[in-house]
Structure 1
């Protein structure tokens, strides 16, 4: 019996695989192509595709515990529902699913709405699961670091409402803790939902100020124009459907924000046994790494 990690090669999934391996768990990473992924010693791989039910059935045979992370995709909902249905068929009763914070408050954003539908499936079918709902990943800003440093502009239009950004390493560590808790339990555990968010609530202006301080020079905030944001994404080669999805997400962030309930961070830090990472520390780390090269 093993823990199957779906989404094992991305930012979060690769960290989850590494974390489970460090704890001595029996881990299998689902990959699209054999031999392509670099996996830690002792981690097995199985070839599978979220669009191919037959491969999902093969991947889940003999699995005790499942981590499901579905990357942004045009058919994300179908992929996720298929994976969870196959998990039910396989008798898997220990699941950790990566959703998104406030999935229910962004009804017009395709990938948020998809994740909320998956959450409702888990609830309605009483599947024993931990639903993790992370806020905006700090690591999203790695993709804009060159723009920030090269042009002196913070180009992510996150607006004035506030986003409790979270480090992907913290998300992964919490996922690992929940996977191990469920996997090691004698019986399937009750379902829980955990928002995962950082302690600092950042706006477009305050996030920009963090970069200004770390770089030691003024950085300007790009403003809140989501149309320009969508156009820039497409200019950079992002598919039109994805650029529009992300535009809608940014509009939602500006209107709703991503702010956790009181006590959320304290609960997460209890699970981790340490403080959550801060955006200022993340930015300082990124600047230091860039200066080394």
Structure 2
């Protein structure tokens, strides 16, 4: 029984593939360029993108279980709904979808609201799926290491409510475990939601303090300047995406990303180990 993984060469998808292979699963990866995929030996490669209808149909052939990860894109909703409809057409009844935590609460943030729409489609069509809902990926902060070390400022506008940052390794491993659970079941399993959070809920000031401890010098928190954050991001991403991230930061400030009771205990039990924490993550970045 083969598991199809989309987004297989990205930060999360690559972990999912590696975890599945390590556990003996038959894996097919859906990739744009097989020559550049660099995935573990034994992984079958199917070529195409998320709007390549014929390519995705071919990739689904003979597949029992689907891992659906759609990157942030202007047409993300279309990509995701198309993929799920094609999966239904192919008779696939075992799905793990990577959504986001608090999608409905962050209703004015395009890439959050879009994932909430996809979740509604899964519910409305009664799909047998696990919906994974990760918080902010701490791995995003690898991109700001040079800013922190060179300018002494932690620039991510996390606000003062608290963000339960999660490590991509934990997200990928939980996804793999759920894919295997569904893939090995004798039939479709009930729909399930799993919030994915880290062991600590950190404010912007507390995140800056983690960097201060790791670097042994004072790192200031840059605050919540939404306009400045957007302008900075426009140097490395399209304007629409930078604005999307500005709206996300505004929700960080208003609501944070706070786990519910039992979220962390459930994840720890699933993984059989502690969750990766932000302090260790930053220590690794600064040591490198």
TM range (shorter): over 0.9
C-alpha separation between the residues in 2 aligned to 1:146 and 1:21?
Answer: 34
Q: Secondary structure at the match of 1:15?
A: helix
Structure 2 residues without counterparts, runs of 5 or longer: none
1:133 aligns with 133
Separation in 1, partners of 2:53, 2:115: 19
Answering whether residue 74 of structure 2 is matched by residue 74 of structure 1, we say yes
* Corresponding position: 1:288 with 2:287: yes
TM-superposed CA distance for 1:256, in Å, is 1.1
Superposed CA deviations along residues 82-133 of structure 1, whole A, max 9, x for unmatched, are 0000000000000000000001101111110110000011111110000000
Q: Distance in 1 between matches of 2:254 and 2:34?
A: 43
Deviations 1:195-237 (A, max 9, x none): 0001211000000000000000000111111110000011x23
| 1:48 Cα deviation from its structure 2 partner | 1.6
Distance of 2:283 and 2:236 partners within structure 1: 29
Q: Does 1:118 align with 2:118?
A: yes
Q: In the aligned structure 2, how far is the partner of 1:185 from the partner of 1:64?
A: 11
Q: Report the alpha carbon displacement of residue 139 of structure 1 after superposing the two structures with TM.
A: 0.2
Aligned ranges 1:40-51 → 2 under 5 Å:
40-51=40-51
Q: Deviations over 1:239-264 (max 9, x none)?
A: 00100011101111111111110110
Instruction: Tell me what 1:263 maps to.
Output: 262
What residue number does 1:53 align with?
Answer: 53
C-alpha separation in 2, matches of 1:66 and 1:83 = 10
| Superposed counterparts of 1:231-246, under 5 Å | 231-234=231-234, 236-246=235-245
Map of 1:278 onto structure 2: 277
Distance 1:237 1:212 in 2: 26
Distance 1:48 1:192 in 2: 29
Whole-Å separation in 2 of the counterparts to 1:201 and 1:17? 28
SS in 1 for 2:35: coil
Following superposition, the deviation at residue 287 of structure 1 comes to 1.2
Say which SS state the counterpart of residue 114 (structure 1) adopts: helix
Per-residue CA deviation, residues 18-48 of structure 1 (Å, 9 max, x unaligned), is: 1101111000000012312101011110002
Question: What residue number does 1:229 align with?
Answer: 229
1:30 aligns to what SS in structure 2? strand
What SS is found at the alignment partner of 2:265? helix
Structure 1 residue 49 displacement after superposition: 1.1
Find runs of 4+ consecutive structure 1 residues off by over 3 angstroms. none
Structure-to-structure mapping, 1:1-293, within 5 angstroms: 1-234=1-234, 236-289=235-288
CA RMSD of aligned residues (A): 0.7
Flag structure 1 segments of 5+ consecutive residues without an equivalent.
none
